[in-house]
Structure 1
Amino acid sequence: MEARIETLTEKKLLGRHIDMSFIENKTFELWSGFMPKKKEIKNIISDNLYSLEVFSTGHFDNFDPSKIFQKWAAVEVSDYNDIAVGMETLVVPDGLYAVFVHYGPASNGHTTYHSIFTEWLPNSKYTVDDRPHFAVMDHKYKKDDPDSEEEIWIPIKNRN
Structure 2
Amino acid sequence: MTLQTPPIKPARFEDGRTFTVAGLGERYGQATLQQIPTLWQRFEQHIGRVPGQVGGETYGVCCNGDGQGNFDYIAGVRVQDTDSLPAGFQHVELKARRYAVFEHHGSLDNLKATFQAIWKDWVPVSGETVANAPEFERYGQDFNPDDRNSVMEIWLPLESK
TM range (shorter): 0.7 to 0.9
**How well do the aligned residues superpose, as a CA RMSD in angstroms?**
1.9
Q: Which runs of 4+ in 1 moved over 2 A?
A: 37-40
Q: Equivalent residue for 1:129? A: 131
Matched residue of 1:38: which SS?
coil
Q: Secondary structure at the match of 1:16?
A: strand
Partner of 1:96: 98
Percent identical pairs in the alignment equals 24
Aligned to 1:27: 36
The residue identity in structure 2 corresponding to 1:111 is: A
Find 1:142's aligned residue among 137, 144, 151: 144
Count how many residue pairs are aligned between Structure 1 and Structure 2.
152
Corresponding residue number in structure 1 for 2:5: none
Q: Which moved more, 1:30-39 or 1:132-141?
A: 30-39
What is the identity, as a one-letter code, of the residue corresponding to 1:44?
Q
Q: Is 2:20 the partner of 1:18?
A: no
The 2-side partners of 1:148 and 1:39 are apart by 20
Per-residue displacement from partner, 1:116-141 (whole Å, max 9, x unpaired)?
Answer: 11222122121211111111001342
Equivalent residue letter for 2:21 = L
Unaligned runs of 5+ in 1: none
- Helix, strand or coil: the match of 1:37? coil
Where does residue 46 of structure 1 map in the other structure?
Answer: 55
What does residue 153 of structure 2 align with? 151
The TM-score, its normalising length taken from structure 2, stands at 0.84
